[in-house]
């Protein structure tokens, strides 16, 4: 098998880091996402490995679909293989977490109750391992794919059960977890892909249907080939908020404005205006028919009206971020909120609540307030042209989308509004496309 | 020099020396002299609109220097009058020319006159682009800047950049945000030059 040439784009955001892998034809063959964890070097390495793992899964799928003898087994086998693979990765990380927890518990300040502490930790981690299977079962709906999120939810729940206000307290257990999870997250070697994939293969085959088991030897061959496939990174471009920290030379770094413009153009070739509302900034970008940026505006140093604003409001109301949009959609009489300043909006929220106004009406007003701010950036950048593409984390919030649709209609008339389910990868996709263009131009 | 020594013998000799130096560099084909020595490769020629950020001036300046962006003309240097447009104080008409001087200061010009002036600079100095530094504490500059941005883009076909900081308030200078915008803008200019394969 010839070496596979790939082009990688990495988008270091303030909240999450994303990677996209393209092949020579410019098709997306791998993607990865991880939390930026205030350590861009690690995030960059983790997300790259993750994207390469997915690339190898794509190769496996292509090998299976390309093989007439395996045509029928593709979907069931692959999804089960991926689940088993993720499960093994998760167990690996739990083993690391266990090690880190006991190391943290070994600190002299815990010497008075070392034995009770170790017993509690042992029970918690054992139960976490038992629960791990549930997260990766066929019917499981995971709220998050990040190890940190899954482990935190399980650990906190179990720590509450195993703590005792007169002995090993909940706070003590939380402190150990905070120290240990950082160690796990900052470790970059996730175990070799080959070992984990081979390890995942046997349980997958053992639990497979007879039709799949009949093809076991051929499937083993395919997996071996994929494991051994040579992948060459022919070009890499980094972008995003933390791009100055990427371990690449300057020529391999592109502004996120250019990457978002090109990425949006690749997803929706008709895009002329792009709005991106991320965690820390809002960007309004105008692109031409080739996806090249002709003008842009972004928020100044204040993150008012960005994703973080919604996060803060959700915290203030004791809601999950994903619950905010649907709550706002129940509003029947929207309240006018005057401030997009996160701190003032928090005060205004409490004032409105004390006046007896309904939560859904207030939240609807807050959504409109952030979209109004985005509308002003759009106007500054040259308005909303057809087609209009909305990207970034806030594009997942239905109430924000409703408010945007309405305000665009009122101010600019009918526009096609594009929102992709993969919009979070827009910047990384643009970066990968730049990597491919540069590498192919230099051939 | 410009503010305190105007009309004095010291001012005259200072500007004479300065002019000779600039002309000598021009003949030798050298670019501007900077705190880091001669500016190396000139990659972008920019016309700057609005005051600089004085509170973090070196950091701000370095963002342009590092990218090879050279400011070829600016509006801030015309706050003290339009001498390059031919204005001179006339000792025989002191009050009249003082009034003319005041009316010619950039911040006392109306929007259409400002626009015409910047258009002329962009053409005369063959600028690749122009950048507006929008300042919170100077309304004489910042009023109408967004309109100016659009109209200049339309009339010259040259793309404009927009950054925000302050003249005197250090809290309003966000290095990461400004650097991001300057770099994005310059990369946009580069892309415009080289097309799809940038």
The whole-number average pLDDT for the span B140-156 is 93
Q: Nearest 5°: CA angle at A19, between A13 and A23?
A: 150
**What pLDDT shows up at residue B81?**
86
**Chain A contact for B137 (CB, 8 A cutoff):** no
Give the gap in angstroms from C-alpha B177 to the nearest C-alpha of chain A: 6
ipTM greater than 0.90? no
A437/A290 Cα distance (integer angstroms): 13
B182/B184 Cα distance (integer angstroms): 5
B15/A413 Cα distance (integer angstroms): 57
Contacting B residues, span 60-119, partner chain A, CB-CB under 8 Å:
none
A390/A267 Cα distance (integer angstroms): 11
A360/A330 Cα distance (integer angstroms): 6
Q: Which CATH class is domain A1-71+215-268+424-443?
A: alpha beta
**What pLDDT shows up at residue B129?**
96
Q: How confident is the model at residue A103 (pLDDT cuts 50, 70, 90)?
A: very high
Per residue in A67-102, pLDDT (tens digit) is: 888 877 777 788 888 888 888 888 988 999 999 999
Per residue in A276-333, pLDDT (tens digit) is: 998 778 999 999 999 999 999 988 766 677 888 888 888 888 887 788 889 999 999 8
Sign of the dihedral defined by the CA atoms of residues A303, A305, A311, A313, in that order: positive
Give the gap in angstroms from C-alpha A261 to the nearest C-alpha of chain B: 11
Per DSSP bridges, beta strands A16-22 and A273-277 are unpaired
Terminal Cα-to-Cα distance of chain B (whole angstroms): 43
Per residue in B17-45, pLDDT (tens digit) is: 999 999 999 999 888 888 888 888 899 99
CATH topology of domain B38-197: Rossmann fold (3.40.50)
In order of A262, A267, B105, the CA distances from A294 in angstroms are 12, 18, 32
Least confident interval from A301-315, A374-388, B52-66: A301-315
**Chain A contact for B192 (CB, 8 A cutoff):** yes
Task: Show residues of chain A in contact with B192, CB under 8 Å.
Answer: 292, 294
Q: Is B187 in Cβ contact with A255 (below 8 Å)?
A: yes
**Chain A contact for B162 (CB, 8 A cutoff):** yes
Per residue in A150-171, pLDDT (tens digit) is: 888 899 999 999 988 888 899 9
Query: When comparing pLDDT for A24 and A244, which is higher?
Result: A24
**What pLDDT shows up at residue A303?**
66
A307/A303 Cα distance (integer angstroms): 8
The whole-number average pLDDT for the span B175-190 is 91
Q: How confident is the model at residue A121 (pLDDT cuts 50, 70, 90)?
A: very high
Q: Which residue has the tokens 């109430």?
A: A399
The whole-number average pLDDT for the span A423-438 is 94
Q: At what angle do helices A40-65 and A74-105 cross, to 10 degrees?
A: 160
DSSP string, A9-50: EEEE-SSEEEEEEE-TT--EEEEEEEE-TT-HHHHHHHHHHH
The whole-number average pLDDT for the span A415-421 is 94
DSSP string, A344-402: HHHHHHHHHHHTT--HHHHHHHHHHHHHHHHHHHHHHHT---SSEEEESGGGG-HHHHH
Q: How confident is the model at residue A1 (pLDDT cuts 50, 70, 90)?
A: low
Supply the mean pLDDT for chain B: 91
A428/A243 Cα distance (integer angstroms): 12
A312/A319 Cα distance (integer angstroms): 10
**What pLDDT shows up at residue A211?**
79
Q: Which residue of B has its CA nearest to A293?
A: B188
Per DSSP bridges, beta strands B33-34 and B37-38 are antiparallel
Q: Is A300 in Cβ contact with B195 (below 8 Å)?
A: no
DSSP string, A302-355: --TTSHHHHHHHHHHTT--HHHHHHHHHT-SSPPPP----HHHHHHHHHHHHHT
Per residue in A169-220, pLDDT (tens digit) is: 999 999 999 999 988 887 766 567 778 888 888 888 888 888 788 888 888 8
Residue of A91, A142, A13, A139 whose CA lies nearest to A423: A13
**Chain A contact for B55 (CB, 8 A cutoff):** no
As beta bridge partners, residue A391 has A276
A116/B140 Cα distance (integer angstroms): 70
B145/B141 Cα distance (integer angstroms): 7
In the predicted model, is pLDDT for residue A40 greater than 90?
A: no
The percent of chain B in helix, strand and coil, each rounded to the nearest 5, is 55, 15, 30
Q: Which residue of A has its CA nearest to B177?
A: A301
Residue of A161, A155, A172 whose CA lies nearest to A117: A172
> Any alpha helices (H) in A113-192, and if so which ranges?
114-135, 147-162, 170-186
Q: How many CB atoms lie within 10 A of CB A204?
A: 24
**Residue A89 phi, psi (nearest 5):** -60, -45
Q: Give the whole-number percent of chain B exceeding pLDDT 90.
A: 68
Q: Which CATH class is domain A269-419?
A: alpha beta
Task: Show residues of chain B in contact with A241, CB under 8 Å.
Answer: 176, 180
The percent of chain A in helix, strand and coil, each rounded to the nearest 5, is 60, 15, 30
A284/A294 Cα distance (integer angstroms): 11
**What pLDDT shows up at residue A280?**
78
Which three-class secondary structure state does DSSP give residue B142? helix
- Residue of A258, A376, A443 to mutate for B, most B C-beta atoms under 10 A: A258
Q: Is B172 in Cβ contact with A301 (below 8 Å)?
A: yes
CA A415 from centre of chain: 29
The whole-number average pLDDT for the span A332-345 is 79
In order of B58, B77, B131, B166, the CA distances from B169 in angstroms are 15, 21, 20, 6
Q: How many CB atoms lie within 10 A of CB A21?
A: 27
Q: Is A297 in Cβ contact with B188 (below 8 Å)?
A: no
Residue of A208, A226, A243, A261 whose CA lies nearest to A84: A208
Q: How many CB atoms lie within 10 A of CB A252?
A: 19
Q: Is A257 in Cβ contact with B184 (below 8 Å)?
A: yes
**What pLDDT shows up at residue B100?**
93
**Chain A contact for B177 (CB, 8 A cutoff):** yes
Residue of B190, B42, B64 whose CA lies nearest to A257: B190
In order of A26, A35, A362, B25, the CA distances from A419 in angstroms are 21, 22, 26, 54
Q: Where do the structural domains in chain B lie, given as residue ranges?
A: 1-30, 38-197
A440/A96 Cα distance (integer angstroms): 41
Q: Which residue of B has its CA nearest to A442?
A: B197
Q: Which residue has the tokens 């302050």?
A: B166
Which three-class secondary structure state does DSSP give residue B98? helix
Question: What's this model's pTM, rounded to 2 decimal places?
Answer: 0.84
Per DSSP bridges, beta strands A28-35 and A16-22 are antiparallel
Supply the mean pLDDT for chain A: 87
Give the gap in angstroms from C-alpha B78 to the nearest C-alpha of chain A: 26
In the predicted model, is pLDDT for residue B196 greater than 80?
A: no
């Amino acid at each position: 098998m010839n070496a596979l040439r790939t082009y990688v784009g990495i988008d270091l955001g303030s909240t999450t880091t994303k990677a996209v892998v393209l092949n020579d034809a410019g098709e997306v063959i791998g993607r990865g996402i991880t939390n930026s964890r205030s350590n861009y070097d690690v995030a960059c390495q983790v997300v790259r490995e993750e994207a390469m793992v997915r690339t190898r899964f794509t190769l496996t799928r292509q090998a299976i679909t390309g093989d007439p003898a395996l045509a029928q087994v593709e979907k069931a086998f692959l999804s089960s293989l991926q689940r088993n693979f993720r499960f093994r990765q998760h167990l690996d990380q739990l083993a690391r977490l266990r090690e880190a927890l006991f190391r943290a518990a070994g600190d002299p300040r815990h010497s008075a109750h070392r034995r009770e502490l170790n017993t509690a930790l042992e029970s918690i981690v054992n139960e976490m391992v038992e629960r791990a299977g549930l997260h990766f079962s066929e019917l499981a709906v995971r709220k998050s794919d990040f190890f940190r999120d899954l482990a935190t939810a399980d650990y906190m729940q179990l720590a509450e059960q195993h703590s005792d206000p007169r002995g090993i307290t909940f706070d003590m257990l939380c402190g150990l977890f905070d120290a240990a999870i950082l160690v796990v997250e900052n470790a970059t070697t996730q175990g070799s892909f080959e070992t984990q994939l081979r390890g995942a293969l046997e349980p997958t085959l053992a639990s497979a249907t007879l039709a799949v088991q009949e093809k076991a030897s051929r499937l083993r061959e395919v997996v071996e080939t994929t494991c051994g496939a040579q992948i060459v990174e022919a070009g890499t471009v980094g972008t995003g908020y933390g791009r100055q920290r990427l371990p690449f030379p300057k020529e391999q770094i592109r502004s996120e404005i250019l990457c978002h413009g090109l990425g949006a153009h690749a997803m929706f070739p008709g895009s002329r205006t792009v709005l991106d509302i991320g965690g820390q900034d809002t960007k309004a970008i105008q692109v031409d028919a080739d996806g090249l940026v002709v003008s842009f505006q972004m928020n100044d140093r204040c993150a008012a009206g960005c994703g973080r604003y919604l996060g803060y409001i959700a915290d203030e109301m004791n809601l999950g971020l994903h619950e905010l949009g649907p709550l706002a959609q129940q509003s029947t009489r929207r309240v006018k909120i005057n401030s997009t300043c996160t701190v003032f909006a928090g005060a205004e929220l409490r004032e409105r609540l004390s006046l007896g106004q309904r939560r859904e009406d207030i939240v609807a007003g807050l959504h409109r307030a952030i979209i109004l701010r985005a509308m002003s950036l759009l106007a500054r950048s040259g308005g909303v042209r057809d087609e209009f593409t909305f990207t970034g984390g806030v594009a997942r919030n239905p109430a924000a989308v409703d408010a945007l649709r309405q305000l665009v209609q009122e101010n600019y008339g009918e526009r096609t509004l594009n929102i992709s389910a993969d919009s979070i990868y827009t910047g990384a996709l643009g970066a990968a496309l730049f990597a491919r263009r540069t590498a192919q131009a230099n051939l | 020099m410009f503010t305190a020594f105007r009309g004095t013998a010291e001012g005259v000799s200072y500007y004479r020396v300065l002019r000779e130096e600039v002309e000598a560099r021009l003949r030798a084909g050298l670019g501007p002299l900077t705190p880091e020595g001669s500016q190396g490769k000139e990659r972008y020629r920019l016309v700057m609109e609005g005051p600089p950020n004085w509170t973090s001036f070196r950091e701000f300046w370095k963002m342009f220097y590092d990218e090879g962006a050279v400011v070829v003309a600016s509006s801030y240097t015309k706050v003290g009058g339009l001498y390059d447009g031919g204005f001179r104080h006339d000792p025989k008409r002191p009050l009249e020319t003082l009034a003319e001087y005041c009316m010619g200061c950039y911040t006392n010009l109306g929007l259409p006159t400002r626009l015409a002036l910047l258009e002329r600079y962009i053409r005369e100095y063959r600028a690749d682009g122009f950048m507006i530094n929008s300042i919170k504490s100077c309304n004489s500059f910042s009023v109408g800047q967004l309109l100016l941005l659009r109209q200049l883009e339309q009339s010259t076909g040259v793309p404009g950049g927009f950054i925000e900081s302050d003249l005197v308030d250090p809290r309003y200078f966000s290095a990461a945000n400004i650097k991001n915008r300057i770099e994005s803008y310059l990369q946009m200019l580069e892309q415009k030059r080289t097309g799809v394969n940038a």
